[in-house]
A and B are shown apart, each in its own frame.
Chain A
Amino acid sequence: KNEVEQSPQNLTAQEGEFITINCSYSVGISALHWLQQHPGGGIVSLFMLSSGKKKHGRLIATINIQEKHSSLHITASHPRDSAVYICAAYSGGGADGLTFGKGTHLIIQP
């Protein structure tokens, strides 16, 4: 069973700061998902990646398959980026092959 660890658990930063959230996993995977969960529970998929790097607006996700590690970066952070960011690693074997981290609670102060 894959073990997915995120760091930090909680992060408070000032508006405009560059943010990095880390995700490591224990078993080789075929895909890694980054999700955003806002207060109230709704979850939005930000990225799905299996290698390299993806960028969408101010968000950048990278993955290093050899090191079993992924990072989510937010440039020019804004209070509306405040949310819980969750990584989930898919190691195959069907629907139960997707393992979620506990999330990083990010607060961006104005």
Chain B
Amino acid sequence: EADIYQTPRYLVIGTGKKITLECSQTMGHDKMYWYQQDPGMELHLIHYSYGVNSTEKGDLSSESTVSRIRTEHFPLTLESARPSHTSQYLCASGNVMMGEKLFFGSGTQLSVL
């Protein structure tokens, strides 16, 4: 049912590398979100977008940046990865403000050595 895709599924990289996590959806949703989840912990919102050229930071401070040049694409970039960035990153879309359900990607498990 979900038409939201994240790549890569797993990523192991060294400290200092620049990385981009990809997220694409084919449902035409304006609203997209990035969440960070550590093992056994709750999801925290790190970035969101209400549409093309709209991006906002979430309640959890993050050194990552996002862009929204096309409706279907919402990539997340870390300019210089550090071990503290090791976590799972989940992309989602859907209008939670209008009481709609969320659609999630399968997540990217990032490990920074």
Chain A contacts to B: CB under 8 angstroms = 4, 30-31, 33, 35, 40-45, 48, 50, 86, 88, 90, 92, 94-103
Are B99's CB and A41's CB within 8 A? no
Tell me if B90 is interfacial: C-beta within 8 Å of chain A: yes
Are B99's CB and A30's CB within 8 A? yes
Chain B residues near A42 (CB-CB < 8 A):
104-107
20 interchain pairs (CB within 8 A)?
A4-B42, A31-B96, A33-B96, A33-B101, A41-B88, A41-B106, A42-B104, A45-B103, A48-B101, A86-B42, A86-B43, A88-B43, A95-B96, A95-B97, A96-B59, A98-B45, A98-B96, A102-B42, A103-B40, A103-B42
Are A48's CB and B100's CB within 8 A? yes
Complex CA gap A101/B40 in Å reads: 10
Complex CA gap A102/B37 in Å reads: 10
Residues of B72-113 contacting chain A, CB below 8 A: 88, 90, 92, 96-97, 99-107, 109
Contact-size category for B: 20 to 34
Tell me if B51 is interfacial: C-beta within 8 Å of chain A: no
Chain B contacts to A: CB under 8 angstroms = 2, 31, 33, 37, 40-45, 48, 50, 56, 58-59, 88, 90, 92, 96-97, 99-107, 109
B63 shortest CB reach to chain A, Å: 18
B37 shortest CB reach to chain A, Å: 8
